[in-house]
Amino acid sequence: MSRSRRVYLILAGMIIAARATLSVWPIEAADPSQSAALSWSAVTAVLILGLPALEGISRLGIPSLMNREVSHRERVAIPLAGGLVGGLGLVLWDIAFVLPRDLNVPFPHSVPFYFVGAFFVEVVQHLLPMLIWLGLVHRVLLGGRWPGTTYWVGAALIAWVEPLGQLGGGFFEGYSRTFFVVAAAVTYAINLAQLALLRKSGFLAMLTYRLGLYFLWHIVWGTLRLTVLY
């Protein structure tokens, strides 16, 4: 078994353990779509799809999960720092506009909840769309030509998935147009940064960025904001 597959199985085991924790220690999510995304059936499907998706995208020019040419600094330290910066951007957005009180799952449930959520988001909103884009456009339509340009066009489109999904529902109903413009800009920049990490350092770098962002935004600030803003 390859090093990347072993690491993926370890990661999958951690995801299953975190999801099992939420089964014996349940908590209600702020948005029903989050509960659906973190259901056992959804998590299981994402875990099953994750490994072949990672192996498929590595054949399309993306570093494998544990590519030996990618250092731990590139895979962990730099993405973690970037995620904290992205989380700070969301904190400032919250301070400026004051988002709903029940935005976050409360601590300590937030730890397993957002760990599973981070993995789900990275596979569903980034990894799978980019795999499909590169497979169809880069490999099939363009015959492998212009890999850099093709990737960045795809990244520019895929980076809209999360902001459009989050801001398109009714959870933020009643906020100003400025609120949505700022929210879309910040969230889009975060997603584009993650897709840049995927191309340079692979999936774990992208996931580490999201974990750093969630740690500051949902877990640390998610607790502090209840005292600071309300």
pLDDT at 32: 75
pLDDT tens per residue, range 22-62: 999 988 877 777 888 889 999 999 999 999 999 999 999 99
Q: What is the pTM of this model?
A: 0.94
On whether the CB atoms of residues 15 and 115 are closer than 8 A, the answer is: yes
Locate 201 and state its tokens.
Answer: 């350092």
pLDDT tens per residue, range 113-136: 999 999 999 999 999 999 999 999
pLDDT at 36: 84
Count of domains observed in the chain = 1
Domain carrying residue 165: 3-228
pLDDT at 172: 81
Q: How many CB atoms lie within 10 A of CB 97?
A: 15
Whole-number average pLDDT of the chain: 93
Nearest alpha carbon to residue 222 among 89, 115, 91, 34? 91
Q: How confident is the model at residue 223 (pLDDT cuts 50, 70, 90)?
A: very high
pLDDT at 30: 72
Q: How confident is the model at residue 166 (pLDDT cuts 50, 70, 90)?
A: confident
Does the pLDDT value for residue 190 go beyond 80? yes
pLDDT at 11: 97
Does the pLDDT value for residue 1 go beyond 90? no
Residues of the chain above pLDDT 70, percent: 99
Q: Give backbone dihedrals phi and psi of 21, rounded to 5 degrees, phi first.
A: -60, -40
